[in-house]
Amino acid sequence: MGMTKRIIFGAVAILLVIAAAYAAFFIAPEERTMGLIQRIFYFHAATAWAGEMTFFVCFLANLLYVWKRQPKYDWLGVSSAEVGLACITVVLITGPVWAHPVWGIWWTWDARLTSTFVLWLLYVSYLLLRTLIEEPDRRALLSALFGIFAFLDVPLVFFSIRWWRTQHPQPVIMGGSGSGLDPTMSKVFFFSVLAMHVLAAFLIVERYVLEKMKSEFDFLAREVEAQ
Amino acid sequence: MSLFSNTAVLLGKELRTEFRSRELLTTTVVFILVVLILFSFAISPTTEESREFGPGLLWLAILFAASLMLQPCFLREQSNDTLSSLRLAVSDPFSIFLAKLIANTLFLLLTELIMLPFFAIFYNVPVLPEFHWLLLVLFLGSLGISVAGTALSAISAQARMRELLLPLLLLPLLTPVLVVSATVTVSLFEREPIVRGKGIAFLAVFDVVFLTALWLFGEYLLEE
């Protein structure tokens, strides 16, 4: 992607996020019981969706790398893992900010929270693994394989906790999107989802370009050293 | 057929190597014992609490022990430079994994069976009434730990800081095994039959998913 296109893409992403923020604060109606704090939902859930999508992109990139062995899939894998991790970090911070006034506690070991946290840990391990292998091809292959194992684990983590760790009474979690959302709220929410996806895509593109330059630089540095 | 005959030969090699010195088994048994005793110092549980939390602690101890025990699995091959000859010797590299994971499952089960009487005495839990079920949970849990652990030890053996890296990669991945095995074990001690079937089925699903993944991707883990 050329420089001009990237700048336009970035401008669109930032404008969308600003518009989503405006919609979340001023257009969406105030929730009756939770009040103002409920507005964090538009960022929290939208970022979560974008983060999960990003990890799915990472999984596809990992599979493609193992299959095709082209460095571009490795670059895409690391870029999407980092952006996804940033998204999930935002989710894990905005969640407790919302939960404390509404549930009265910062954290509970509920299925969705816990599996998101394990997801975060798995991708931290993925990035950590990458820093501990020097040789580029081996790093790409082994981290891609770990990424595949990690992604396969995510549904298992979710259902194991959902079926066996949520028997005790828990604070009521919001009944998911769609269940009883006011039409305006729902429009604002899906607009936020769109904005966050575009932002995540923009960040992945930028990170990809950076990774590509880094890899080219490493290659040249090794060439020079060899001479 | 060659997959099974290769696996059988390699499994024989794994077992011979271990039973010559028994270093892995003795250290793992002692490690689990130390962890269980430290846990009971840390929380000093009553009998009621033991039944509720004991299985969780037991499985946590097994998980920690496994993440240490699985370290030498591929490291040994690497330091002796035998991995490439192993790969040349077998037609399907999956048999290397299969032999190692069967050996690891057996080692884990053996240490668990040695530890079980101590666990029953220290934590005052009835292990005998539902022993066949307990054995099944121990087997499926250990198999899951070994499948994921063998795959990841092939990864960590090729990285720096490998001793720290393996637990870091392995423990989050094994969250489902810990959650389900501990819950099913509690239900065995408290005689609740409801959780049992579903939990055991879930453990079997975990094992099958990771075995399939290892079968599909295992050969890439051993590439040079």
For residue B26, pLDDT beyond 60: yes
How many CA atoms are closer than 13 Å to the CA of A171, on its beta-carbon side? 18
Q: In B, which residues are within 8 Å of A66 by CB distance?
A: 217, 220
CB contact under 8 A, B152 and A146: yes
B11 has a chain A CB within 8 A of its CB: no
Using the beta-carbon criterion (under 8 Å), do B165 and A132 form an inter-chain contact? Answer: yes
Q: The tokens of A133 are what?
A: 């292998």
Residue B214 has pLDDT above 90, yes or no: yes
> What share of chain B in percent tops pLDDT 90?
46
Reported for B140-143, long-range contacts at CB under 8 A and 24+ positions apart, including other chains, are B140/B181, B140/B200, B140/B203, B140/B204, B140/B207, B141/B59, B141/B62, B141/B177, B141/B180, B141/B181, B141/B203, B142/B62, B142/B66, B142/B105, B142/B108, B142/B109, B142/B112, B143/B101, B143/B105, B143/B207
What pLDDT does A209 receive? 95
> Measured between alpha carbons, how far is B35 from A129 in angstroms, rounded to an integer?
27
Q: State the smallest CA–CA distance between residue A95 and chain B in angstroms.
A: 21
Average pLDDT over residues B98-105: 94
Alpha-carbon distances of A134 from B44, B75, B159, rounded to whole Å:
46, 18, 8
Residue type, B49: E
The predicted pLDDT at position B74 comes to: 87
Please indicate whether, in this complex, the C-beta atoms of B158 and A133 are within 8 angstroms of each other. Answer: yes
pLDDT of chain A, 227 residues: tens digit per residue? 788 999 999 999 999 999 999 998 888 888 777 778 888 888 898 999 999 999 999 999 999 999 999 999 999 999 999 999 999 999 999 988 888 888 888 888 877 888 899 999 999 999 999 999 988 899 999 999 999 999 999 899 888 888 876 644 444 445 444 456 778 888 888 999 999 999 999 999 999 999 999 999 988 999 999 88
Contact state of B159 with A133 under an 8 Å Cβ cutoff: yes
Determine whether the interchain pair A160/B202 forms a contact, defined as Cβ–Cβ distance below 8 Å.
yes
Mean pLDDT to the nearest integer, B195-208? 89
pLDDT digits (tens, 9 = 90+) for B139-149: 999 999 999 99
Amino acid of residue A174: M
Of chain B, the end-to-end C-alpha distance in Å amounts to 26
User: Residue B197 — pLDDT band, cuts 50, 70, 90?
Assistant: confident
For residue A10, the model assigns a pLDDT of 93
Residue A201: predicted pLDDT: 95
To the nearest whole angstrom, how far is the Cα of A175 from the nearest Cα of chain B?
24
Give the integer Cα–Cα distance in Å for B144 and B146.
5
Shortest CB distance from B169 goes to which of A125, A141, A148? Answer: A125
- Contact between A139 and A115 under an 8 Å Cβ cutoff? The reply is no
Q: What whole-number distance in Å separates Cα of residue B73 and Cα of residue A187?
A: 54
Tokens representing residue A139 in the block? 């790093």
Residues of chain A with C-beta less than 8 angstroms from the C-beta of B158: 133, 138, 142
Closest residue of B to A133, CA-based?
B159
Residue numbers in B near A118 (CB within 8 A): 172, 175
Neighbours of A76 (CB within 10 A): 24
Chain A residues near any Cβ of chain B (below 8 Å): 66, 118, 121-122, 125, 128-129, 132-134, 138, 141-142, 145-146, 148-150, 152-153, 156-157, 159-161, 163-165
Instruction: Tell me what pLDDT residue A178 has.
Output: 45
Of B198 and B152, the structure prediction assigns the larger pLDDT to B152
CB contacts, 8 Å: A132 with chain B = 159-161, 165
pLDDT score of A166: 61
Collect all residues of chain A within an 8 Å Cβ-Cβ radius of residue B172. 118, 121-122, 125, 153
Per DSSP, which regions of chain B are E strands?
none
Distance CA A158, CA B176 (A): 8
CB B136 within 8 A of CB A134: no
Nearest to B169 among A141, A146, A148 (CB): A146
Find residues 142-161 of chain B whose CB sits inside 8 Å of chain A. 148, 151-152, 155, 158-161
